[in-house]
Amino acid sequence: MNYETYFPEQRHLLPLTIFRRDRLLPVDATGGIEVARGDRVDLHTVVARGAVQAPFTIVEAARQLRLRRPEQLDDLLHVHVGDPVQQGELLAGKNGRRKRGVRSPITGTVVHIGDGRVILQEVGENMVVEAGVNGHVVDIRRGRGALVEGIGAVLQGVWGNNSRATGTLRLEPSDGFGRISREALDSPYHNAIVVTRRPLSQSTLQVVHEQELLGVIAPSIEPELMNDALSSSAAILLTEGFGSQRMSTFSYSFLSNLEGRQATLDGIQPGVLEARRPEVIVNVPLQSGERPPAPRNDLTLHTDMQVRVTRGNFAGNIGQIIGLLNNPIVLDNGLRVHVAQVYLVTGETLYVPLENLEVFG
């Protein structure tokens, strides 16, 4: 392997591009699609509605009533198949403090009665899938949703808390996140996705909760706060990773130029075999007849290419490739690897293993 045959990792950071994104119900949900191929959609267009299939609960009613034969249950039933029931509601038996009865352990629906059993299904979670972007439907995913194509700015991160939010992109106040307030009617932080250069902290997450922010884009968070981030009501996207890194000037400048625009933060947590990444997509106005290029996913390294260092002491730094060596070199740690010579925006020049470089697509 050398630089001519090596395909580096990519995290898109594109000021204007064509993108396609699936908007789908979860695999375990059933529902209906509310758009057709060719339809125009906006941020809040409903693509699909459905409900997540809920678990079943088996109630051994005849056994609890100490009946000799299962068919004796029929005369003691208070419910029928299809009836909704509340937790604690009498399913079978006789009312009264001293009379034995079988009560529902859950809120749900009676789906089967037989062999002395009553089978209940919990109420499923209703779900609505919105487009989240301005664009049009290019394909239908049968039973689950649609593929939507749009045009806008895209920034991909390294971690999300598995939540999605759509709102106005805002920078944190110059004197810190703690100054954010939604109390004033004209506050810019109503329905906002806030960008901060500082790592997330416990106090930051508290402000997010108290001010009911829709989303946060931050550089990093300490690992011990990950569960707090996962349970947050706001969608969270990290641009750098875990630890105490600050946001790179490159990423912050990119987001600063988009302040005030409508954005969709999709903090997905993709599986190991998925190519999706947590990202923020920002709607950007176009000139008449303008059609930007789609992202390139087959890039190889070349001189003058802008790259990001992903590992080592310079992780998170942005630089430019000024040289590519045909033969591997031996690093200080004794490893013999193919490297690129990178000039960082901070002024340093260093040799970086190809595996430690990432491009912006």
**Ordered domains of the chain (ranges, CATH):** 9-50+130-283 (3.50.30.10), 56-122 (2.40.50), 306-359 (2.30.30.30)
Q: What local confidence, expressed as pLDDT, does residue 302 receive?
A: 87
In angstroms, the CA 254 to CA 238 distance is 15
The pLDDT assigned to 248 comes to: 86
Alpha carbon distance 151, 19 (integer Å): 6
* Collapsed DSSP state (helix, strand, coil) of residue 1: coil
Burial class (CB in 10 A: 0-12, 13-18, 19+), 216: buried
* Across 49-61, average pLDDT: 89
Residue 288 pLDDT greater than 80, yes or no: no
- Tens digit of each residue's pLDDT (9 = 90 or more) over 67-120: 989 989 998 999 999 999 999 999 998 765 556 789 999 998 999 999 999 999
pLDDT for residue 184: 55
CB atoms within 10 A of CB 231: 10
Token readout for 289 is 């007849």
Contact call for residues 39 and 137 (beta carbons, < 8 A): yes
Predicted local distance difference test score (pLDDT) of residue 38: 94
Q: Which of the 8 DSSP states describes residue 94?
A: -
Q: Answer yes or no: is pLDDT of 1 > 70.
A: no
Residues 177/213, Cβ–Cβ less than 8 Å: no
pLDDT at 27: 82
* Three-state secondary-structure class, residue 251: helix
Question: 57 and 103 in contact (C-beta within 8 Å)?
Answer: no
**139: β partners:** 147
Weakest-pLDDT range from 63-67, 79-83, 329-333? 329-333
pLDDT at residue 58 in the model: 94
Q: How far apart are CA 201 and CA 219, in angstroms?
A: 11
Question: Is the CB of residue 113 less than 8 Å from the CB of residue 81?
Answer: yes
| Banded pLDDT at 54 (limits 50, 70, 90) | confident
Mean pLDDT of 128-149: 92
Name the one residue in this structure whose structure tokens are 């005849």. 62
**Is residue 214 pLDDT above 90, yes or no?**
yes
For the ranges 75-79, 262-266, 297-301, which has the lowest average pLDDT? 297-301
Give the Cα separation of 179 and 227 in Å (integer).
25
Nearest to 61 by CA among 92, 99, 27, 25: 92
Give the span between the Cα atoms of 255 and 195, in whole angstroms.
Answer: 8
Residue with tokens 């990202």: 279
pLDDT-derived band at 278 (thresholds 50, 70, 90) equals very high
290 CB-side CA count, 13 A:
12
Query: Between these two residues, 256 and 7, which has the higher pLDDT value?
Result: 256
pLDDT of residue 332: 80
Q: What angle do CA 64, 65, 70 make, to 5 degrees?
A: 95
- Predicted TM-score (pTM) of the model is 0.78
Percent of the chain residues topping a pLDDT of 90: 49
